[in-house]
Amino acid sequence: MKIICIGRNYAKHIAELANERPEEPVVFLKPDSAILAKKIPFFIPPFSDEIHFETEVLVKINRVGRYIEPKFAHKYYNEIGLGIDFTARDLQSKLKTKGLPWEKAKAFDGSAVIGSFYDKSVFDLDNLSFQLFQNDMLVQDGNTKAMLWKIDELIAYVSQYFTLKKGDVIFTGTPAGVGKVQAEDILIGKIEGKEAFNIKIK
C-alpha cells in the first residue's frame, strides 16, 4: 500500500502557516513504514523539537484505478476514516527554505496515524465534521465543506500521476489549529462524534 497526502487543502490552515494558496493540490507520499502500529504510542523522534499534529479525513481505496474521471471517483472507495499526519515542523521549515523535499519531515517512522474506518454511506461527505482533542481540549475542529478540493476531485487528480491500488490511503488535508505535541499528551480524534483514534505521546 501507499499513503498519498494532500497539503494546503483548507484555506485557514494555509493562512496560519503563511503559505501560498496553491492553484492545484499539493501532493506528497509517506511509505508504509510511516504507519503507527495500533495500540503503540507515538515516540517523539530525536531529530525534532517541534512535532505538530495535523488531523485529516482519510479515504481507503478499494480498487485499482488510473486516470479516473471525477464523476466515477466515488466508485473507488467505500470507507472514510480519520488520522494524523505528524510533521517535524522545524525540520520542514529548514527544508522548505532550502528548496528541498519534505520527506524527512513528513514521512518518518510513525508519522502516519490511521484510525478506524467507517462506511461512507452513513456520512454526508461534503459536510463531515471532525475534531482533535489534546488532553481533552479541543484543538482542531474541521469540516469537509471547507476543503478547497473535495474527495472525489482529489482521487481524480491523484490518479493522473499515481495508479491507485486497493488498500491505498489518501490523507485529504488538515484544517487550522495544528500544534505541537509534548510527551504524555493524549490525542483523541473524532469523526461525527465517533472516536477514530486515541494516541499517547512519549
pLDDT band at 18 (very low <50, low <70, confident <90, very high): low
pLDDT band at 20 (very low <50, low <70, confident <90, very high): confident
pLDDT in tens, 69-128: 999 999 999 999 999 999 999 999 999 999 999 899 999 999 999 999 999 999 999 999
The total of structural domains in the chain comes to 1
Residue 139 reports pLDDT greater than 90: yes
Residue 110, domain CATH:
3.90.850.10
Sequential DSSP letters for 41-54: PBPPPTT-S-EEE-
CA pseudo-torsion sign 116, 168, 29, 15: negative
Per the structure, the complete domain to which residue 44 belongs is given by 3-200
Nearest partner of 144 among 123, 119, 169, judged by Cα: 123
Residue 15 reports pLDDT greater than 90: no
pLDDT in tens, 30-57: 999 999 999 999 999 999 999 999 999 9
